[in-house]
Structure 1
Amino acid sequence: MHEENRLSWNAATDAHNSHKGDQAAFFRNGGNKLHAEEKALLGDIDEGVDDYVATFSPAFTSAGVQQFRNPHRAHEFTWGIGEIVTALLQSGLALTSLQEYPYTQNFKPFAQMVHAEGHWHLPPDQPNLPLMFSITTQKPS
């Protein structure tokens, strides 16, 4: 399973990186690809790049690989928020914030989702569920 995931991620990374132009110049010229939620967590920083560079920053991209289909099988896992928080606490970290968001960034996991204000939301007739979260911890002194 580990080897299949490694091969899958390597192939996807090559395809993803094929879209990136001159990253160093992009950041030297003040480029920033952080989402608002990331900026809120990280504070005032001057650089960053998200996983969707090719889609959301035409000035920073080239044509790259089109219609990528990964030839390798991948194994993905879903962990609940309780499992994540418990693992962080059991590792000795102190939870400092946990924020839930009723939308996703650049990801439409359900067909009925609607795009508004730069995010994917469930339609108004659906329950208001958290679809994304941010969490911060710190190592106790």
Structure 2
Amino acid sequence: MRTDLHEANRLSWNAATVAHNSHKGDQAAFFRGGGSTLFPEELDLLGDVAGLSLVHLQCNAGQDSLSLARLGAEVTGVDISDEAIAFARRLSAESGITAVFERADLFAWFEEAIGAGRSFDRAFSSYGTIGWLSDIDAWGRGIAGVLRPGGRFALLEFHPFAMVFDQGWTPHYDYFGGAPIEEAGVGDYVAESGDGLTPGDNQEGVVDFQNPHRSYEFAWGIGEVVSALLSAGLRLERLVEYPYANGWRGFERMVDIGGRRMIPPEDMPRLPMMYGLVASRL
């Protein structure tokens, strides 16, 4: 486990989160007006969450967490970024939607939560989370450890096959993991995605953001992700692949086919852009 790289990523995410939220307008007003940042795929995988306890792992700035709380879940959001958690707490207070947000390295949080006997009916993680994990097996064990018997984990993630391409659709990154991938820092993918990731009021915000902190990512194939959950004692219930990416214009010339679903340009074959899974604890 590379906690040193987790710490570097914390600094990079702190800087990027400020830029990301600068494009999203008055988010509290968006939520007070009944807005939600969830896509249909998340709701399909999670099922009815009303009255259930739910931990949102790597929750970022809390928008999806609050959207789930509005559906009646008792939500705890966890993220490594100080800036993201501080923003999520403010947004909760200003929107009037109740949720608890805890800042911690995910692996340290798992250890503390399991040691304290905390457990949840649902665990949830989505969109760009797997790549920040330096130990996929410890991640699987952590999820199993905080789920109650009969509890379920739902994951919606960008497909690792799509992630072998650079922004210009040239194969560049290894599918199979190895050494951590050092990058210039978490970028402003919200600005690059335009209204794809700003369902409320899209603002210009920070222009030409350059992150002062480098970041480090890890490549995990679907087989490794599924095996980590199975090895932890969970049962795989669903595995779904999608030919579009929700909201994120991560590559050049992506086309919005409606509902903020982005696909490769017409001169390319159909590719798996996301996958989702559901795993349960017996």
TM-score bin, normalised by smaller chain: 0.7 to 0.9
Measured against aligned partners, the alpha-carbon deviations of 1:25-72 in whole angstroms (never above 9, x if no partner) come to 43233111111211222335695289859832344x655423322111
What letter corresponds to residue 39 of structure 1 in structure 2? L
Conserved in 1, the CA contact under 8 Å of 2:30 and 2:200? no
* Structure 2 CA distance for partners of 1:79 and 1:34, relative to 1, 3 Å: same
Find 2:248's aligned residue among 107, 129, 132.
107
Query: Any idea what SS the aligned residue of 1:130 has?
Result: coil
What letter corresponds to residue 91 of structure 1 in structure 2? A
Which deviates more from structure 2 when the two are superposed, residues 109-118 or residues 66-75? 109-118
Query: Any idea what SS the aligned residue of 1:38 has?
Result: helix
In structure 1, the gaps of 5 or more residues are none
* 1:13 matches 2:17: yes
Q: How do residues 39-78 of structure 1 correspond to structure 2 at under 5 angstroms? A: 39-44=43-48, 48=67, 55=195, 56-59=198-201, 64-78=205-219
Measured against aligned partners, the alpha-carbon deviations of 1:53-111 in whole angstroms (never above 9, x if no partner) come to 9832344x655423322111111122110000000111111111111101112233443
What letter corresponds to residue 111 of structure 1 in structure 2? E
Conserved in 1, the CA contact under 8 Å of 2:27 and 2:200? no
TM norm structure 2: 0.42
In structure 2, what is the Cα distance between the partners aligned to 1:124 and 1:6? 37
In structure 1, what is the Cα distance between the partners aligned to 2:199 and 2:268? 31
* Structure 2 CA distance for partners of 1:24 and 1:113, relative to 1, 3 Å: closer
**Alignment partner, residue 138 of structure 1:** 280
In structure 2, what is the Cα distance between the partners aligned to 1:40 and 1:73? 35
In structure 2, what is the Cα distance between the partners aligned to 1:58 and 1:23? 7
What letter corresponds to residue 48 of structure 1 in structure 2? S
Which deviates more from structure 2 when the two are superposed, residues 34-43 or residues 16-25? 16-25
Query: Any idea what SS the aligned residue of 2:217 has?
Result: coil
What letter corresponds to residue 28 of structure 1 in structure 2? R
* 1:98 matches 2:102: no
* Structure 2 CA distance for partners of 1:17 and 1:120, relative to 1, 3 Å: closer
Query: Any idea what SS the aligned residue of 1:48 has?
Result: helix
Q: Which has the higher strand share?
A: 2
In structure 1, what is the Cα distance between the partners aligned to 2:257 and 2:270? 15
In structure 2, the gaps of 5 or more residues are 51-65, 69-125, 128-189
